[in-house]
Amino acid sequence: MKNVESSNSGKTLNGTLVFWLCAILGEFGVHCFVCGKTLRGLLYLSLILFSCFVIPLVASLIIIAGGHLCLLDFVPGLLILIVEVLVFVDAWTIGSGRYINKKKGLKYRGGLWMKIIAVIGAVANLFYVICTENEFCFNISQTINKDIKAKVASELNGGFNDYLEKQMVFFNREHQVGDFEKIGYVSNSEFFEFKDLNPGVSVSYKVNLECSYQSTWMLIPSVVDGKLEWNVTEPKDKRCSDNYPLKLKDK
């Protein structure tokens, strides 16, 4: 056994395969696993999973709960940047012929072309991380948020139109406007709080997605020349009207 170990000690292997694994799949730590650097590989893989899956999912849950992300949306980009730097260091080390598997006593032969590709790859990855604004990492968050936005818009317009319809039916019958109880209006909204202004309805936003938390819409009825007219007030935050435009039925 001692002879076998001594024969493997300091053995130099062609580093081409390890380099390409680092260049192509380095962010997932594949080259580390192949070279016996398991803990380092797990570190890379964990950082990528957190930045691209865990944090976006947590961010979406915070938004649904009406909270603020603060600096959380910058964390994925920072984690990926850390991984990219570590991968570049590995690629450069391989290219320099200094990448070593201490447990097996293996060393990998490098080359100048590896260093050149490592620099080009590092610049390209840095440009991608900065210019895409973490869009790749937040793909899960974006998908969830897209679904939420559709539900938010549906609940907002559905709640308003239901109130408008019930109020008009009550007015045509009683020739006056009524409160929620009189017109038979009940709201069960996940994203909004509907309040009876008697007359009128106030709607407060309970989420913090593409519109400020607790932004308020109001729909106030008034009787002019025997006819029911409506005054609509939208939130001051322009994002609210841009992302959730009111589509009221014929008033």
Q: What is the pLDDT of residues 135-149, one digit of tens each?
A: 545 455 566 677 788
Strand 106-109 to 11-14 pairing: parallel
Same domain, residue pair 98 and 156: no
Confidence of residue 223 (pLDDT cuts 50, 70, 90): confident
- Contact between 136 and 52 under an 8 Å Cβ cutoff? The reply is yes
- Contact between 147 and 113 under an 8 Å Cβ cutoff? The reply is no
Whether residue 173 lies inside any domain: the answer is yes
Whether residue 250 lies inside any domain: the answer is no
Q: Check: pTM over 0.85? Answer yes or no.
A: no
Q: What is the domain range of residue 160?
A: 145-243
- Contact between 117 and 21 under an 8 Å Cβ cutoff? The reply is no
Question: What is the three-class DSSP state of 233?
Answer: strand
Question: What is the three-class DSSP state of 96?
Answer: coil
Whether residue 217 lies inside any domain: the answer is yes
Same domain, residue pair 14 and 129: yes
162 Cβ neighbours under 8 A, 6+ residues apart:
185, 187
Could you give the number of structural domains in the chain? 2
Domain boundary among 101, 121, 137: 137
Confidence of residue 113 (pLDDT cuts 50, 70, 90): very high
Q: Exposed, middle or buried by CB within 10 Å (0-12, 13-18, 19+), for 142?
A: middle
Domain boundary among 137, 157, 191: 137
